[in-house]
Structure 1
Amino acid sequence: MRITVRPAHDLDARDMAAILSEVIAIGGTTAITGRIGPEDIRDWMGQAPEASAWHVAETETGEIVGFQWIAPGADHLPPEAAEIATFAKPGRQGLGIGSKLFEATKRAALALGYAWINANIRADNGGGLIYYQSRGFEDYGRITGYRMKDGQVVDKILKRYDLR
């Protein structure tokens, strides 16, 4: 199966929301909780568009099998740091989706002027920790006792990828 990556657009929001909703329903890998619809994805895509980049991975038949975005970091990050999020369609991991997405995201982050990329990964998300480690992200901190919107409490590992 051939995977290509391209910039995401509003019409991709339904497929991205379906992937994220499936990931949330399975549980254990994202701190995002609750119902996510296409309108949520479009809203997120519309926040700071001049400082964000969204990409989708799709098959040769046009099926969206993953997506990744970077956006300005949370309050604890300096302006030269972008926040990253990555989601692959359950059952489709291990096909090179994340690798191809990250290559596009790195180029976009540099073009947007970021110096580094931050990833906040749940400490119990072994797959996510391995993914970011294999991309070259390095541990630099930990958030202990992070309370998610659904009330669940998890620890988060902070990883960074230096672009320069």
Structure 2
Amino acid sequence: MTQITVRPGGEGDLRQTLDLLNEIIAIGGTTAITKPLTRKDLGGWLMADPGKAIWHIAEDSDGNLLGFQWIGPWGDLPPEACEIGTFVKSGRTGLGIGSKLFEATKPAARGMGYNWIDAEIRADNTSGLAYYQSRGFEQYKRKENITLDDGSIVAKCVKRFNL
């Protein structure tokens, strides 16, 4: 079993994080992001709101990135809520990486004053839906006919976790 360590992400983690996310985007089907990101894009997202957003990385004992999870303000969410995004290295799902990340994210969200966490998951992302359900997220809305950047149309399940 791989040893998994979780810690807050920072500037020095952007290259590995970018590579992991762009691989997931290239595979397709699990994220609403459809176009590869640049380091500047990713840094602007992950580190745009200090004090309102945080991201954690999970790595193995050799320092290899296994996944990351971000929370922060998003869209039209009220100030007491934050959005979450979880990304685990392809081929490494189901090993407890997401669970370890969420155990770090929950107290961080509380510490920033959030009362609940919102997750928007593609309705065709069965592993993502199962992950958030197993963490205790409950669906409160469904969005239909969402057009992604590549022109594909998907539905999204919107789930909530009360802190």
Residue pairs, 1:123-162, within 5 angstroms = 123-162=123-162
- Distance in 1 between residues matched to 2:29 and 2:36, nearest whole Å: 16
CA contact (8 A) 1:68 1:85 kept: yes
Residue type of the partner of 1:54?
W
Q: Greater shift after overlay, 114-123 or 39-48?
A: 39-48
2 CA distance for matches of 1:27 and 1:8? 24
| Equivalent in the alignment of 1:36 | 37
Identity %: 56
Which residue is equivalent to 1:88? Answer: 88
Aligned-residue offset at 1:56: 0.2
Match of 1:72 in 2: 73
Residues 88-122 of structure 1, C-alpha deviation per residue, up to 9 Å, x if partnerless? 00011111100000010001000000000000000
CA deviation after TM superposition for structure 1 residue 43, in Å: 1.2
Paired residue type of 2:87: F
Contact 1:80 1:116 survives alignment (8 Å)? yes
Residue 73 of structure 1: how far off its partner (Å): 2.7
Residue aligned with 1:68, SS: strand
Aligned residues: 162
Partner amino acid, structure 2, of 1:13: L
More displaced 10-residue stretch of structure 1: 126-135 or 88-97: 88-97
- Would the aligned equivalents of 1:5 and 1:104 in 2 still touch at CA under 8 Å? yes
> Higher mean Cα deviation, 8-17 or 42-51?
42-51
- Normalising by structure 1, report the TM-score: 0.96
Instruction: Report Cα offsets for 1:9-49 as digits up to 9, x if no partner.
Output: 01111111111111111111000111112222211123111
Q: Is the 8 A contact 2:86 2:98 kept in 1?
A: yes
Distance 1:8 1:146 in 2: 30
**How far apart are the structure 1 equivalents of 2:11 and 2:56?**
11
Q: Which runs of 5+ in 2 are unaligned?
A: none
Unaligned runs of 5+ in 1: none
The amino acid of 2:153's aligned partner reads V
Contact 1:140 1:160 in 2 (8 A): yes
CA distance in 1, matches of 2:37, 2:18: 6
Q: Which runs of 4+ in 1 moved over 2 A?
A: none
Q: Secondary structure at the match of 1:50?
A: coil
TM-score by length of 2: 0.97
In structure 2, what is the equivalent of residue 62 of structure 1? 63
SS at 2:51 equivalent:
helix
